[in-house]
C-alpha cells in the first residue's frame, strides 16, 4: 500500500507509538510530556487502535477538550499513513494495569492508509456484494444489516443526485426485481433519464402543486401500506422479503418549501417519519437528499437517528454544514482527502460504527449510461 521503505518501517507498534509521543509532546497544550511520564501511547496494529495512557495525577483534566486536542494533532500528523477516526466524545478504556496511576486510557481507532474513490465508466457497472453497497475502496454500506435509510446533504452542484443514482444503480444491477419509486421536485435531467431507462415510477411536478403534493403523499403512504403488508407476511412465514422497496426522495426541502399549509407539512413529515421508523423490518427504505435538513419540515430527530448512511457533501465541510446530520461533530478534526476531482467530497458515516470519515463519492464517467 505504501510505496517507500520509510513508510513500511513506520508500520510497527513501537515506531508508531514513538511518532505519536513526539507529535503530542510538541503540540499538546499541557505542561507535561511523555518524557516526564505524564502519558504514554500504545499502538495495537492488529486490532487497529491505540491508547493514550495517562499517569494520574496529572496537571490537566482528562476531558473532552483533551480528547479533541489529541485527535486533531494525530489525525493530521498521521495523514496519509493512517486514517485516525475522530471520536465524537472521549472513549475511556481500562488498561488492566495493576497500578492505579495508569489504569485508564483514551482510545482511538484507525485504518492503515486512506479511503480512495471508486471509478466506473457507466451506471451499468456498480453492483452490490451480498447486501453491501461499495462506497469507497474499503468502505461499504450494508443495506440489510443496517436500517437501510439514507440521507444526503450538500449544496447544489456537489454531487448529491449523482450519488443517489449510484446507490440506486448498485441495487438495481444486483437486484433487478427491486422496487424503486423516485420523487423529484426539481425535474433533474439525469435523474429523469435514470428513471426512464430503468422503467421506474417517477413523480415530478406537472403544473398544479396541490396535485403534485397529493402524488408525493400517495407514494409515501403507499410505502407505509407496503410495510404493513410485508410485516404481516413476515409473521406468517417467518422470512424477511428479499426484494427491497425504495423511495428515492430528491431535494426533500424543495418539496417542503412549496407547501404553505402547516397541516400539509405535518402530514408530509409524519409520512417520512413512519417510513423511517418502521421500514427496516420490512426492507422498505427511504433514500433522501436535500441541500439542508431541519427538524420542522422534513426530517425530525427520530428519523435522523434512523439514517444508516449519512453524507455531507462539501469540499470544505463547516460546522454549519454538519449541524443536523452530524450533530455536535467538529469537522475540523477530519482531513478530507483530495484526488483532483472536487465533486463528491465531504463526510460520511454508516451504521453500526457511525464513525464520521472523509468521503469521496464514486466517480461515474458517463452518468447517462
**CATH number of 44's domain:** 3.90.1150
pLDDT at 1: 42
**Per-residue cell: 35:** 518524557
**How many C-beta atoms lie closer than 10 Å to residue 220's C-beta?**
22
Distance of alpha carbon 145 from alpha carbon 137, whole angstroms:
19
pLDDT at 4: 53
Residue where a domain stops, chosen among 93, 112, 131 = 112
Low-confidence ranges of the chain (pLDDT < 50): 1-3
pLDDT at 342: 86
Are 159 and 304 found together in one domain? yes
> Rounded to 10 degrees, what is the CA torsion of 209, 169, 152, 337?
-150
Q: For 95-128, b where at least 16 C-beta lie within 10 A, e where not — what string?
A: beeeeeebebbbbbbbeebbbebbebeebebbeb
Residue where a domain stops, chosen among 50, 82, 112 = 112
Distance of alpha carbon 59 from alpha carbon 101, whole angstroms:
13
Q: What is the CATH number of the domain that holds 354?
A: 3.40.50.300
Are 84 and 183 found together in one domain? no
104-112 and 307-313 beta bridge pairing: unpaired
Distance of alpha carbon 23 from alpha carbon 77, whole angstroms:
7
Are 87 and 175 found together in one domain? no
Are 79 and 193 found together in one domain? no
Q: Which residues, including other chains, have CB under 8 Å from residue 358's CB and lie 6 or more apart? A: 83, 114, 115, 334, 335, 336, 337, 345, 346, 347
Are 183 and 322 found together in one domain? yes
Are 272 and 137 found together in one domain? yes
Are 88 and 40 found together in one domain? yes
Are 173 and 303 found together in one domain? yes
Distance of alpha carbon 322 from alpha carbon 334, whole angstroms:
12
Which residue reads 500504545 in cell numbers? 42
Enclosing domain of residue 15: 5-112
> Model's pTM, two decimal places?
0.92
Are 257 and 226 found together in one domain? yes
Q: Which residues, including other chains, have CB under 8 Å from residue 326's CB and lie 6 or more apart? A: 310, 312, 347, 349, 356
Which secondary-structure segment (H or E) carries 154?
strand 149-154
**How many C-beta atoms lie closer than 10 Å to residue 237's C-beta?**
9
Give 188-216 pLDDT, tens digit per residue.
Answer: 899 999 999 999 999 998 877 778 888 99
Distance of alpha carbon 106 from alpha carbon 98, whole angstroms:
17
**Per-residue cell: 67:** 480528547
User: Residues 92, 34: contact at Cβ < 8 Å?
Assistant: no
pLDDT at 6: 53
- Tell me, what DSSP letter sits at residue 60? S
Residue 366, strand partner residues: 122
Helices (H), ranges, the chain? 5-10, 13-27, 64-78, 160-174, 189-197, 209-237, 252-257, 262-278, 301-305, 319-322
Number of domains forming the structure of the chain? 2
Helices (H), ranges, 28-112? 64-78
Are 159 and 231 found together in one domain? yes
pLDDT at 25: 96
Are 98 and 125 found together in one domain? no
Closest CA to 250 of 332, 308, 323, 194: 194
Residue where a domain stops, chosen among 112, 143, 159 = 112
Are 193 and 318 found together in one domain? yes
pLDDT at 218: 95
Amino acid at each position: 500500500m505504501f510505496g517507500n521503505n520509510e513508510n513500511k518501517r513506520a508500520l510497527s507498534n513501537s515506531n508508531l507509538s514513538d511518532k505519536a509521543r513526539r507529535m503530542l509532546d510538541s503540540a499538546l497544550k499541557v505542561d507535561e510530556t511523555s518524557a516526564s511520564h505524564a502519558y504514554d501511547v500504545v499502538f495495537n496494529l492488529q486490532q487497529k487502535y491505540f491508547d493514550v495512557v495517562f499517569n494520574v495525577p496529572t496537571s490537566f483534566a482528562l476531558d473532552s477538550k483533551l480528547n479533541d486536542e489529541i485527535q486533531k494533532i494525530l489525525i493530521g500528523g498521521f495523514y496519509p499513513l493512517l486514517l485516525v477516526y475522530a471520536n465524537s466524545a472521549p472513549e475511556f478504556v481500562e488498561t488492566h494495569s495493576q497500578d492505579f496511576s495508569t489504569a485508564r486510557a483514551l482510545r482511538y481507532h484507525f485504518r492503515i492508509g486512506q479511503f480512495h474513490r471508486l471509478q466506473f465508466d457507466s451506471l451499468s457497472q456498480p453492483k452490490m456484494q451480498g447486501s453491501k453497497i461499495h462506497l469507497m475502496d474499503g468502505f461499504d454500506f450494508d443495506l440489510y444489516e443496517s436500517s437501510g435509510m439514507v440521507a444526503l446533504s450538500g449544496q447544489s452542484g456537489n454531487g448529491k443526485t449523482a450519488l443517489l443514482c449510484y446507490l440506486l444503480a448498485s441495487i438495481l444491477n444486483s437486484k433487478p426485481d427491486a422496487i424503486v419509486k423516485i420523487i423529484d421536485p426539481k425535474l433533474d435531467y439525469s435523474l429523469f433519464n435514470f428513471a426512464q431507462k430503468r422503467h421506474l415510477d417517477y413523480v415530478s411536478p406537472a403544473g398544479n402543486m396541490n396535485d403534485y403534493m397529493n402524488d408525493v403523499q400517495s407514494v409515501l403512504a403507499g410505502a407505509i401500506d407496503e410495510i404493513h403488508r410485508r410485516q404481516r407476511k413476515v409473521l406468517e412465514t417467518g422470512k424477511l422479503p428479499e426484494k427491497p422497496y425504495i423511495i428515492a426522495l430528491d431535494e426533500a426541502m424543495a418539496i417542503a418549501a412549496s407547501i404553505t399549509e402547516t397541516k400539509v407539512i405535518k402530514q408530509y413529515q409524519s409520512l417520512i417519519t413512519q417510513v423511517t421508523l418502521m421500514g427496516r423490518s420490512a426492507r422498505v427504505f427511504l433514500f433522501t437528499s436535500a441541500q439542508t435538513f431541519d427538524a420542522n419540515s422534513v426530517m425530525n430527530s427520530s428519523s435522523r437517528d434512523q439514517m444508516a448512511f449519512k453524507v455531507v457533501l462539501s469540499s470544505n465541510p463547516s460546522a454549519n454544514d454538519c449541524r443536523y446530520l452530524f450533530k455536535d461533530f467538529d469537522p475540523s478534526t477530519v482531513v478530507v482527502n483530495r484526488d483532483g476531482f472536487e465533486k463528491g467530497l465531504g463526510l460520511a458515516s454508516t451504521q453500526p460504527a457511525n464513525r464520521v470519515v472523509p468521503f469521496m463519492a464514486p466517480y461515474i464517467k458517463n452518468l447517462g449510461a
